[in-house]
Structure formats: structure tokens, C-alpha cells
Amino acid sequence: MPYNLAISPDFKPDQISGWYIFNTWLQKKLDEAIHLDIHQSFAEQHQAIDNEKVDIVYANPFDISRLVREKSFTPVARPVCKPDEAIIACREGAIREITELPQALTVAQANAPEVNTIGMIMLEPANIDKSNIKIIDCENFVVVARHILKGEADVGFFLAESFNELSNLVKKQLYPLINSQINMIHHAFMLSPKFAPHKDKLKELLINMKIDDKGIQILNDIGIEGFESMEEEDAEFMIDLMDTLLS
């Protein structure tokens, strides 16, 4: 039976081929059969984890608590210099501060729970919470931008990295009202108890990717500079932090 690798469903579509190459590289290095499962939604991925169909997962920070506390997964590595930060943007115009936003707000958001959580927190200083907003769920951040530009949403929540990758034409028509600077929330590779015997080898491989020509090429394809070790206490700290953000 091959092991199963899953990628957080908020991956960028143009990086799918990079993740397949990563999986081929990983199988060769570990000398183990690993199947890459691309889940289209967080619900689908959660179901796969519940059914013990996931052994390695590049997890969204929002899922790490559940993986550690309920599924006994352990952290292996996290990306270097790639914190998950959020931007709240509106259409370029008169509004320059969160506090100038209307109270009955329409928010466009993508399928990125950590971004949406941080976005809601950044609206708090304007006395805006879930009780006085209308949410438009979008397929991705380009669609979020489209809703703002069409005037269907007052603001949108963006992953900062994705906002910065929007076309210049689109960005020129948007105004970033606030940018989070938390620097402590990030994705991470997590392992199931079944895969735990491979933890040390996998950690070494991931950390050394950035000093290996093939590894560097794959990192480039998946949009990551490199990986660094993530210990159990690092994961616990992030779980505690996420717990406070959900209050």
C-alpha cells in the first residue's frame, strides 16, 4: 500500500505540476511509494484525514490544531520566510482606513480559513464582526478582486502573497487598507503516526532541499524558498496562537 501525500487545498493552481514533481522526488529519496492526493476542498481533505487516507500533509495553519490534538500528527518542517499574512483591500477611491468602511459590509473571501480569520480580526477596530457583514465565497483571490471591482463587495480578504501577484491592471484599481504583520502563522508539513518512522529522514531531506540543485528547482516550482525544522513545541505555540485568534 502506498503512503498518501496531501497538499492544503489553498495551493495555487499553477503549482500543481510542481507538487507532482515534488512527490516523484520524495518517492525516490525515501524509496517509498507515495501517492499525491489533490483535494479540491478543506472538507474533502478533512474527510480523507478522518478515513486515515493521509500520511503526509502540507497543512494549512488552521488545520494544525486538529491534526495534532485529534489525529496525533507530528510537525516536521515549515517553509522559510513564508508566513501567512492577510490584506484587506477595497476599490481604489475615497476610503483610506478600515474605520471609514460602512457598517453593513459585503466581504468577498476565498477558500483560505487562516486569511479569513485574520481578515475578520483586522475589521474589529471598525466594530465590524460576523453579525454585520455579508460574505461572498469565491473560488480564488482573482475572483475576490473581480467582486470588488464590480462593486459587488465592499472589501476582499486576500493572502498577501496572492494580492501581490495580481496583475498590475487589477492592483491599480484596488487599495490595500490594511496588511497583517503577524509573522507567526504558516503552513507546515505534518506526519501521521503511520509515517512517523520516516520523520527524521524526511526532515533532513526537506531542510536540505535548498542546498541541492534539483531541490532548489522543485522549491521554485512550488513557490517556497526552503524548509526549516518545526518542533512539536513550535506547533503547540501556533495552535495556542490560532486558538486566541478564533476567540
Partner 1 sequence: MLDMNPEDIKGEYTEHNLTLYEDICRKVFTTELESPFPKGYLIVSRTDTNGIITHANDSFVEMSGYEKSELIGQPHNILRHPDMPAAAFKDLWDTLNRREKWRGYVKNLRKDGGFYWVYAIVIPNIRNGEVEGFTSVRREPSRKKIDECIKLYAEMSQTK
Give min distance, CB of 30 to partner 1, in A: 30
Give min distance, CB of 54 to partner 1, in A: 25
Nearer to partner 1, 124 or 137 (CB): 124
Residues in a beta bridge with 137: 109
Nearer to partner 1, 30 or 182 (CB): 182
Give min distance, CB of 233 to partner 1, in A: 8
Nearer to partner 1, 51 or 244 (CB): 244
Give min distance, CB of 85 to partner 1, in A: 8
Nearer to partner 1, 14 or 243 (CB): 243
* C-beta of residue 227 within 8 angstroms of C-beta of residue 209: yes
Nearer to partner 1, 99 or 229 (CB): 99
Give min distance, CB of 236 to partner 1, in A: 7
Residue 35 exposed, middle or buried by CB count within 10 Å (0-12, 13-18, 19+) = middle
Phi-psi region of 141 (alpha: psi -120 to 50; beta: other; left: phi over 0): alpha
Report CA 157 to chain centroid distance, whole Å.
13
Quote the longest CA-to-CA distance of the chain: 59
Element (H, E) at 52: none
> Which residues are at the interface with partner 1 (CB under 8 A)?
98-99, 121-122, 124-127, 178-184, 236-237, 240-241, 243-245, 247
Show the DSSP H helices in 73-212 as ranges: 113-123, 141-149, 160-164, 168-172, 199-208
